[in-house]
Amino acid sequence: FSKNEYLYMSNPKENNVYFEFVIINVDANKEIFKSDMVPPDKALPVNLYDLLGSGITNIKVLVNTYDIETMEPCTQFNNDNIKVTIK
């Protein structure tokens, strides 16, 4: 990734839940981003350079899901050990 590149986090249109995205800097054990609720068929651009600066960083992406009608939490998914290079 570079300064002007974005990671697009999307919620597929087939879903019937909201997504909330959380990015954790694994190296610093710190949450660096938490999105608002993303409805189905929408995408959220995230500039990793703005969040992390340049270099190589290990991140974890969590996806929390919430029922559209009740806003009750449903499930949490995560991807461990994602290594990103930012120029």
- pLDDT band per the 50, 70, 90 thresholds, residue 2: confident
Q: Which two tokens stand for residue 18?
A: 């909201």
- Tell me the pLDDT tens digit for each residue of 32-83: 999 999 999 999 999 999 998 888 899 999 999 999 999 999 987 776 666 6
pTM: 0.86
CB-based contact 22:61 (threshold 8 Å): yes
What is the structure's pLDDT at 6? 87
- Tell me the pLDDT tens digit for each residue of 8-41: 999 999 999 999 999 999 999 999 999 999 999 9
What is the structure's pLDDT at 84? 62
Closest CA to 32 of 3, 60, 66, 6: 60
Distance from C-alpha of 79 to C-alpha of 13, rounded to nearest angstrom: 21
